[in-house]
Amino acid sequence: MTELSRFQKDVEVAANALEMRAENEDAKTEAEHLYRKFGSTKQEPLRLAVALRGYFLAEEVTEEEREDYGAYLKKRIRPAVERLILEDDWEKIEKLYENEWFGERELEGFLKLAEEWRKPAALMGLLHLKKENYGFKEKKFEL
């Protein structure tokens, strides 16, 4: 298994801290806190963790805030999807793909990571995306 980058480890720590804090806040307070943090922090791992959490909050996030989070995530799609692979969160990966923020080349890289990191939900979802959108060009599969 490939060693996680220091950046991804820092994102994980930030994501865990945000999750723990959210347990003590209502959704509106959390959304306000996240957006304030997103606008003020210069730490990229924290900013990525905040953007991912804020983008996928179901309620209390304004359309403008969601667009700001989305614009940030689109520019940093690789580390964002890597984070979601580590969380084995296929549904969120699929939503980012539906935004057309990454294509076949990136998908191939994400498939390799999901396999290497042994994340079954992400792997199966990414394989489904590949089959539906690009097909399998390889002629020979080995088990």
pLDDT tens digit sequence for 72-104: 999 999 999 999 999 999 999 999 999 999 999
Q: Please give the radius of gyration of the chain, using alpha carbons only, rounded to the nearest integer.
A: 16
Structure tokens at 66: 């969601």
Widest distance between CA atoms in the chain: 53
pTM summary value? 0.88
User: pLDDT digit string (tens) for 16-48?
Assistant: 999 999 999 998 999 999 999 999 999 999 999
Q: Which of 102, 120, 103, 123 is nearest to 112 (CA)?
A: 123
User: pLDDT digit string (tens) for 40-56?
Assistant: 999 999 999 999 999 99
Q: Which of 112, 79, 116, 115 is nearest to 96 (CA)?
A: 79
Q: 58: which DSSP letter?
A: S
